[in-house]
């Protein structure tokens, strides 16, 4: 992950300072397991950014490098191609279904424990039927088969915490999806339960600054917040924020701090705590909205707009705390950014808000 990206005038190029994350994938003693883990990431992620030809080129090279692994590599090729049909600016759901089913057949024919791959494919097929092909009966059939595969696999696992974590996460996703077609409360409760089991497994194998750990804390917090478990949600949001701080992931930090601030404001009426985290959110937003030489005009406008909204959110809570000077400063900063962007109408609306602040301050004396 890029910790910092900048334009080098001396070298006339964009440079990035990188840091290695999620190295839990690498230290398998079995090189075959390492290869499968890496290819699985390629198959899951490459479909989001690559067209079909590029995916085929990647897997053609993998076939040449690992000729003895062609059987399962073909299955992963089909999985990536299936994802491409829905992710890469396409909506060819019938083709995606066909690719996923071909991948499923190949994985079922492969030797060894392939339960994670098979469960993942059942889940993807269920989601196609649920959200795109509009066949609830087949969707439920594949969701239930995903659950059976995961539960059977878990009964045979002993010390493989990595595989346990993955299976628990799949089960959590299944129950979240099924909340839309069954008992919502019970399904959400099950989803939270499995996400918490995933966290327990990850804590045994991940470093304290592992991104996946942060994502799991955050996911649990979101579920707890939705169920009204606000104290528990705060604990897990704060745990995730520690990890994202260590990773310098200011964009995600901004979202996490915003959720913490809203919980304090809306559910505990603790405006001081809400302001504390709104300020942290604003700092993270400003950092993640840094404008670099290679950003185009639309990106620059979007980043400035994010900072403006953050200033306005700060002003809102500062007014509730009757800190008129701070609210005035936040609104003025937002107004200046609008003026820089030549958004005259929005800048004038801020002038009206500034007048309201002056009026409220006079009335409070």
Q: What are the boundaries of each domain within the chain? A: 252-365
What is the CA 234 to chain-centroid distance, rounded?
18
- The DSSP symbol for 12 reads T
CA dihedral 152, 158, 164, 167 (to 10 degrees): -10
Distance, CA of 59 to CA of 61 (rounded, Å): 5
CA dihedral 137, 142, 144, 150 (to 10 degrees): -170
8 Å CB contact between 80 and 46: yes
Q: Where are the alpha helices (DSSP H) in 179-321?
A: 184-205, 211-226, 230-246, 250-267, 271-288, 297-320
Helix (H, G, I), strand (E, B), or coil: what is residue 2?
A: strand
Distance, CA of 76 to CA of 290 (rounded, Å): 38
Distance, CA of 214 to CA of 204 (rounded, Å): 14
What are the φ/ψ torsions at residue 185 (nearest 5 degrees)? -65, -45
Architecture of 252-365 per CATH?
Alpha Horseshoe (1.25)
Neighbours of 126 (CB within 10 A): 23
Helix (H, G, I), strand (E, B), or coil: what is residue 137?
A: helix
Helix (H, G, I), strand (E, B), or coil: what is residue 67?
A: helix
Distance, CA of 332 to CA of 315 (rounded, Å): 10
At 316 the pLDDT is 97
For the chain, what is the mean pLDDT? Answer: 91
At 5 the pLDDT is 61
pLDDT digits (tens, 9 = 90+) for 41-64: 888 877 777 888 999 999 999 999
Distance, CA of 95 to CA of 101 (rounded, Å): 10
Distance, CA of 38 to CA of 50 (rounded, Å): 17
Written as six digits, the tokens of 130 are 């649920």
pLDDT of 336 strictly over 60? yes
Distance, CA of 266 to CA of 340 (rounded, Å): 33
What value, to the nearest 5°, has the Cα angle with vertex 315 and ends 313 and 317? 75
> Is residue 234 exposed (0-12), middle (13-18) or buried (19+ Cβ within 10 Å)?
buried
By residue count, the chain amounts to 365
> What contacts 24+ positions apart, CB below 8 Å, involve 134-138?
136/181
pLDDT digits (tens, 9 = 90+) for 117-159: 999 999 999 999 999 999 999 999 999 999 999 999 999 988 8
At 174 the pLDDT is 98
At 46 the pLDDT is 74
Residues 6+ apart with CB under 8 A from 54: 46
- The DSSP symbol for 27 reads -
Q: Is the pTM of this model over 0.75?
A: yes
Residue that wins the pLDDT comparison between 183 and 118: 118
Span of 11-15, 127-131, 278-282 with lowest mean pLDDT:
11-15
Written as six digits, the tokens of 318 are 């500062």
Neighbours of 84 (CB within 10 A): 25
Residues 6+ apart with CB under 8 A from 166: 116
Distance, CA of 165 to CA of 37 (rounded, Å): 14
The 3-state secondary structure of 50-106 reads CCHHHHHHHHHHHHHHCHHHHHHHHHHHHHHHHHHHHHCCCCCHHHHHHHHHHHHHH
What value, to the nearest 5°, has the Cα angle with vertex 263 and ends 257 and 266? 130
For residues 274-292, give the mean pLDDT. 95
For residues 317-324, give the mean pLDDT. 97
At 226 the pLDDT is 95
Residue that wins the pLDDT comparison between 156 and 11: 156
8 Å CB contact between 78 and 100: yes
């Amino acid at each position: 992950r890029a910790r910092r990206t900048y334009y080098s005038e001396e070298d006339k190029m964009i440079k990035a300072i990188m840091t290695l994350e999620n190295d839990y994938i690498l230290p398998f003693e079995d090189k075959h397991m390492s290869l499968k883990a890496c290819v699985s990431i390629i198959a899951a992620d490459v479909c989001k950014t690559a067209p079909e030809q590029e995916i085929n080129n990647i897997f053609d090279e993998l076939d040449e490098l690992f000729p003895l692994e062609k059987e399962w590599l073909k299955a992963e090729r089909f999985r990536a191609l299936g994802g491409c049909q829905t992710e890469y600016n396409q909506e060819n759901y019938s083709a995606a279904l066909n690719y996923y089913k071909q991948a499923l057949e190949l994985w079922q024919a492969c030797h060894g424990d392939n339960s994670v791959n098979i469960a993942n494919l059942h889940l993807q097929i269920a989601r196609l039927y649920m959200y795109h092909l509009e066949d609830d009966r087949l969707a439920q059939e594949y969701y239930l088969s995903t659950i059976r595969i995961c539960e059977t696999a878990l009964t045979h696992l002993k010390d493989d915490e990595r595989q346990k974590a993955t299976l628990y996460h799949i089960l959590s996703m299944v129950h979240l999806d099924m909340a839309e077609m069954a008992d919502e409360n019970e399904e959400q409760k099950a989803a939270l339960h499995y996400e918490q089991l995933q966290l327990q497994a990850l804590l045994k194998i991940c470093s304290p600054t592992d991104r996946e750990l942060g994502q799991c804390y955050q996911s649990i917090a979101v579920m707890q917040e939705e169920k009204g478990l606000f104290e528990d949600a705060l604990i897990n949001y704060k745990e995730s924020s520690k990890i994202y701080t260590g990773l310098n992931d200011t964009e995600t930090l901004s979202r996490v701090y915003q959720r913490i601030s809203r919980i304090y404001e809306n559910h505990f009426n603790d405006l001081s705590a809400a302001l504390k985290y709104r300020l942290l959110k604003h700092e993270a937003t400003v950092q993640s909205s840094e404008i670099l030489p290679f950003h185009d005009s639309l990106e620059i406008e979007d980043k400035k707009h994010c900072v403006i909204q953050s200033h306005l959110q700060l002003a809102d809570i500062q007014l509730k705390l009757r800190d008129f000077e701070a609210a005035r400063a936040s609104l003025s900063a937002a107004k200046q950014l609008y003026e820089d962007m030549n958004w005259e109408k929005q800048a004038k609306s801020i002038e009206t808000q500034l007048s309201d602040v002056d009026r409220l301050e006079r009335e409070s004396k």
